[in-house]
Amino acid sequence: MSGLEMRGRDVRLEGVSITYPNGFTAVQPTDLTVEAGEFFSILGPSGCGKTTILRTVSGFVEPSAGRVLIGGEDQAGIGPNARPTALIFQNLALFPLMPVWENVAFGLEARGMGKKARRQRAQELLELVALGDQGEKLPSELSGGQRQRVAIARALAVEPAVLLLDEPLSALDLKLRQHMRAELRDIQKKTGVTFIYITHDQGEALTMSDRIAVMNNGVVEQVGTGDEIYSAPQSAFAASFVGEVNAMAGRIVATEGHLARIETASGQLVGRNAKGLGVGDQAILFVRPEQMVFGDPGNSFTARLKRRDLEGAFVTYEFATAEGQSLTLHQTNSGAPSPVAEEARIGFASESAVILPEGPLARTGQELAAQ
């Protein structure tokens, strides 16, 4: 990578809100810092405002209020071509009649770079994305994943400090998508360029990102590492959008230290009071399926087994309580036959559950995948 000199810069949104000319506010006032050289994902359902934020960073949309700073420089009035950013969409738009290397070098001619230097730069970039021997081919002679890597090489050719990726893998099939996750992560780490990656796929966000912003309805609800968001969600939406979860709604009846007791349809349950809720507040208790166990570790119910699915490394049980609450339990597959009784006592430890203010829940991953 001798000739390539890439360096990420930080991106800051200060009080940025975005209202479109028709009066619709797609992004509520938002403060967000993406560190230099970070792989940062913005995760949320369709229509929540992710792309709008990306357009504002790239300069295609001016914020209605607030400031966008890249490397500490206010970007107000700076057009997309003059910003240190490059953008990759899901539709690649490679030039079909140009060999791969010319596709990669396309933006460099306008910058006054001669043909030999362009060829050299394209070769370095193609090596970076593991396509060093494919430069003379036409895009149609490459696989979908290879074409995606050409698009990444092309975006990196202008040595952006920030690469903005808008659902770049969504047109690929599942296997390729999973493979490309690792590739993208690898390329990001090798170049040190700041990546801001837009996705509605929590699996993508969790596997690739240093940090994630969970967004819903124009609001960034939580920013953190995947681990932080998964194990310590800060909103009902974040808890239900990232990973599978059991949710039980009710009202707080007591608090003690960092714990709270909530009265639900299935009885009183205790969990971590993550947001300092008080007695009388409407709330939802969340517990992950792998935190549910057979027996009574503090909170428990008798529930009827509806189905048992062997998933290989683990087993998934679907239960229903007498009150009609459905609960999912994951257990590591020990190889021993699992209990098959119609009724079982199942529960969770108070420390493994989190109680959050009542709020909208995300639709399930399956519904999202079916979009």
Element (H, E) at 182: helix 174-191
CB of 90 to ligand ATP, least distance (A): 9
Query: Which CB, 26 or 150, lies closer to ligand ATP?
Result: 26
Among the listed residues 61, 63, 70, the one whose alpha carbon sits nearest the alpha carbon of residue 29: 63
> The sheet that has 211-216: what strands, in order across it?
85-88, 162-166, 194-199, 39-43, 211-216, 219-224
CB of 24 to ligand ATP, least distance (A): 5
Among 22, 140, 332, 334, binds ligand ATP (CB under 6 A): 22
Q: Which residues contact 231 (CB under 8 A, 6 or more apart)?
A: none
Among the listed residues 362, 329, 357, 359, the one whose alpha carbon sits nearest the alpha carbon of residue 262: 357
What character string, x for contact with ligand ATP (CB under 6 A) and - otherwise, covers 188-207? Answer: ------------x-------
Element (H, E) at 146: helix 144-157
SS3 state of residue 119: helix
Interface stretch with ligand ATP, choices 39-47, 244-252, 276-284, 338-346 (CB under 6 A): 39-47
Query: Which CB, 315 or 361, lies closer to ligand ATP?
Result: 361
Among 1, 3, 15, 24, binds ligand ATP (CB under 6 A): 24
Q: Does 367 contact ligand ATP by CB under 6 A? A: no
Q: Does 177 contact ligand ATP by CB under 6 A? A: no
Angle between helices 115-128 and 144-157 (to 10 degrees): 130
Among 9, 11, 32, 51, binds ligand ATP (CB under 6 A): 51
Query: Which CB, 26 or 164, lies closer to ligand ATP?
Result: 26
Q: How many residues bind ligand ATP (CB under 6 A)?
A: 13
Among 52, 75, 194, 321, binds ligand ATP (CB under 6 A): 52
Residues 34/198/124/96 CA torsion (nearest 10 deg): -150
Interface stretch with ligand ATP, choices 17-25, 69-77, 189-197, 339-347 (CB under 6 A): 17-25
- C-alpha 240/C-alpha 245 separation (Å) is 6
Q: Does 282 contact ligand ATP by CB under 6 A? A: no
Q: C-alpha distances in angstroms, 287 versus 86, 150, 223, 246, 302?
A: 40, 42, 20, 5, 17
Interface stretch with ligand ATP, choices 16-24, 66-74, 147-155, 188-196 (CB under 6 A): 16-24
Query: Which CB, 46 or 268, lies closer to ligand ATP?
Result: 46
Concatenate the DSSP letters of all residues of 259-289 into one string: EEEEEETTEEEEEEETT---TT-EEEEEE-G
CB of 44 to ligand ATP, least distance (A): 6
Would you give the end-to-end CA distance of the chain in angstroms? 40
Q: Does 371 contact ligand ATP by CB under 6 A? A: no
Among 1, 31, 46, 345, binds ligand ATP (CB under 6 A): 46
Query: Which CB, 46 or 326, lies closer to ligand ATP?
Result: 46
Task: List residues binding ligand ATP (CB under 6 A).
Answer: 20, 22, 24, 26, 44, 46-52, 200
